[in-house]
Every structure is written in structure tokens, then in C-alpha cells.
Amino acid sequence: MSLKLFDLTGRTALITGSSRGLGRAFAEGLAGAGARVILNGVDAARLEGAASDMRAAGHEVLTAAFDVTDEAAIIAAFQDFDAQGVAVDILVNNAGIQFRKPMLDLATADWRRVIEANLTSAFVIGREAARRMAPRGRGKIINIGSLTSELARATVAPYTVAKGGIKMLTKAMAAEWGEAGIQANAIGPGYMVTDMNEALLSNPDFDGWVKARTPMRRWGLPEELAGTAIYLASDASNYVSGQIIYADGGMISVL
């Protein structure tokens, strides 16, 4: 009985920003648990490449190319899902950008760009998904936060503010959509080996800091987040909502 709780067979999951990095790892994990996955990105060629790789591995994969900062494109994508009879049961709001610059030098346009991509997008896509989940009486929303959902690091203020907002948006979604049978939770990845972190990984001082500051003394691998995503996407978490689960090698818990 207990393993069945984690079975996603018959469920469809939309993962934003999923042609590579953490989003791809979430898609692989959810597909491995039986879900049909919808990959999203702005680069249609990269999206198709990821989809064909996953199909070759035996997974059921759809693609939806849209920019998560383009509300009209998001609405059109969900209208396409409606027209195709595709019901999104699980939404992973993963897409986001990083922009590292001290606030004294930060242009307001760059501030706004990061907030739009990392926070407002999760609200808009979450709203469109929840509008369709509510009548069905069930749905899973998984927002991707960060260690910076709790703690600030100098030079990444807009990202930190957006990720702090992700934590509270998750609670707001839990507050408003619980009675419709929707659970909204978040995952807080630690320092992960991704393209977005290339500049940090290749900096010996930063790499040393991460390893010293993390109880497990290493960076995390994207596939190490899949289990938490499967849990939050499955019936195993049906009475869990408004939570953020850190998969960070213990970093957030220690001085």
C-alpha cells in the first residue's frame, strides 16, 4: 500500500523551465514515478531535444513552449491544454533566472526582470492551473524556492526577494485553494550543480565556502531533488500544504 501513495500513473505534470537543469531533473523524476510530463521552455529546439530523449527512455512527454513572463502566452498555453483535453494535475513552478549585482549598482529594470521571472510567473501560472484544478477537486502545486527563501546572500537581492516571495506565495496558495482540494508546497534546493551556478562552481573560494558551510560538505545534484518532488506531487502528501522542504545537505539548519 505505502509505495502506491507515491505512484503518479494517470497524472499529468507541467514543469516550467524543464529542458535542462533542475526543471529537467524534476521532469525525469515525476515521469519515473509514472506521470505524463509537459516540458516547458522558450527554446523550442532544446525543448524538443529534451522531449525526444525522455520519450526514448519510455516516458510520455508533451511540450509547451512559452515564456513564463508572458501572460498572454501562458493563458494561450492553458487554452491549448483545454482544447486538447490535457488536465494539468501537478504544476512545478521551477523556471527562474539569477542576476548577481550589488544593489547600489542595480538597475530597477534588472530588479523587475528577476521578480517577474522568478515570482510573478509562479502566481500567473499557478492561477491558470488552479482555475482548472479547483473544479476537479484536486491538484498539486510545487513552487521552487531557495536557501534565499530564508537567508540573504549579498549581491543577489532581487533573486532573494523573489524566493522569499515564493515561500509566502506558497502559503497564500495553501490558504486560498485548500478547500478546493489543492495542496501548494515548495522545495528549497541548496547549492546545486547547475548551469545557473557555473560561475560559483568554478570559483574556488565560493566552492570552498559552500563545502565548509554545508554539513554534507558537497554541492547537491539535481536528481537528488526528485524524491521530494515525487512526494509533494503524490497522494503521500495529501494533507501537507503551505510547507517548504529544504533539500540542501543540511545547510539551512546550521550556523
Which residues are catalytic, by number? 159
Q: What CA–CA distance (Å, rounded) separates 40 from 44?
A: 9
Figure out which of the listed residues 16, 146, 185, 214 binds ligand GCO, where binding follows CB under 6 A. 146
65-86: burial string, b at 16+ Cβ within 10 Å, e else: bbebbebeebeebbeebeeeeb
DSSP assignment string, 36-105: EEEEEES-HHHHHHHHHHHHHTT--EEEEE--TT-HHHHHHHHHHHHHHT----EEEE---------GGG
CB of 182 to ligand GCO, least distance (A): 25
Q: Which of residues 98-137 bind ligand GCO (CB under 6 A)?
A: 98, 100
189 is an interface residue for ligand GCO by CB under 6 A: yes
* Closest distance of CB 9 from ligand GCO, Å: 31
The C-alpha R_g of the chain, in whole angstroms, comes to 17
* Residue facing ligand GCO at closest CB distance: 146
- Asked if residue 143 binds ligand GCO (CB under 6 A), the reply is no
Q: Which of 156, 225, 226, 229 binds ligand GCO (CB under 6 A)?
A: 156
| Minimum CB distance to ligand GCO, residue 226 (Å) | 17
User: Is 63 near ligand GCO (CB under 6 A)?
Assistant: no
Selected range binding ligand GCO among 11-19, 44-52, 145-153, 208-216, rule: CB under 6 A: 145-153
Distance between CA 252 and CA 49 in Å, rounded? 35
- Of 177 and 191, which has the nearer Cβ to ligand GCO? 191
Query: Half-sphere exposure (CA, 13 Å, Cβ side) for 185?
Result: 23
In this structure, the strands spanning 36-41 and 12-15 are: parallel
Note whether 148 binds ligand GCO by CB under 6 A.
yes
Whether 193 contacts 146, CB under 8 Å? no
**Which range touches ligand GCO (CB under 6 A), out of 54-62, 84-92, 190-198, 231-239?**
190-198
Q: How far is the CB of 35 from ligand GCO (least distance, A)?
A: 25
Give 221's DSSP letter: P
Can you give the binding site for ligand GCO, defined by CB under 6 A?
A: 98, 100, 146-148, 153, 156, 159, 189-191, 196-197, 200
